[in-house]
Structure 1
Amino acid sequence: MALTAKQERFAEEYLIDLNATQAAIRANYSVKTAMEQGSRLLSNVKVRAHIDARMAELSRRTGVNQERIMRELARIAFLDPTNLVNMDSAELLDSATADDRAAIASVKVKSMSGDVDMVEREIKFADKIKALELLGKRFGMWVDRQQLEGAVGVQIVDNVPLPPADT
């Protein structure tokens, strides 16, 4: 059995921002129950399969996937700027690889003429700390919330005395 028109609309809307509540609202589900409807629709096997298939299709078409994202984050996180830039002249080295250059956020070159000709170069790299943070989260190196684990026995003690028996 295929998806209903409303379910398909929800799935397409969900792909926009991955927000189930907003997707349900945009698919004309009740605003009051949008959160519950979104959750219910995401747990529907057919709706989920449709969303997964569309996400895979988008990934193939754009070439964006988890492996590529991880590779780009690793390029940024582990870049050694001295392998990319001459620290005296701020010029890119001929030996800089494509991986090295992928970590550059921007390059600004300013020439000034006058009594003395000057060239000012500014090279900004992508945020190394953010890349390391995202990689660390991916590998579970830090957790934003506390996790408690362990087996704990529970013993219920009833200290309330029983009423005297009628004799």
Structure 2
Amino acid sequence: MAESRAQRIRVVLTLAQRQEDTAAERLGQYRDQVRGEEEQLAQLRDYAAQYTQDYASQRQGIYAHQLMNYSGFVARLGELCREQEAKLKRMQLTLNKMQEQWRQCHQKRKSIEDLIERFKREDAVLLDKRLQKELDELTTQKFSRIPSRDE
């Protein structure tokens, strides 16, 4: 018997599944990178807050050059935080694009699965009709061979 449409399209489904799996894997890895960058930003903020708090508690007897060094260091920490925030925004945009790519791959795979199911249903209906036709023909042949009582 010839290969059904549902069986022939399984190759396409396999390829779509691979694409979805690859997209999901890349998405997961990138999410991990984003989390790492978020943790780094949190650590920078915590360090800046702790440094400011520690330095504020030691304000007595500070020399001008120490105050200038402190101000410069705090300014650099603020700059690093802003750079990290900008990096995270860019990464979030990339993450959103990757999520959309995965959604498209997922939807494509689901559509192919739905198509396969539709083909199976259609094939089953055709098979039922073919079987019914064969049964009808056999029944007709059987009754046409039986002589009637009138003869």
- Range of TM-score over shorter length: under 0.3
TM-score norm. by structure 1 comes to: 0.24
TM-score norm. by structure 2 comes to: 0.26
Q: In terms of Rg, which structure is larger?
A: 2
Higher RCO (CA 8 Å, separation ≥ 6 residues): 2
Higher normalized helix content (fraction of residues): 2
Higher normalized strand content (fraction of residues): 1
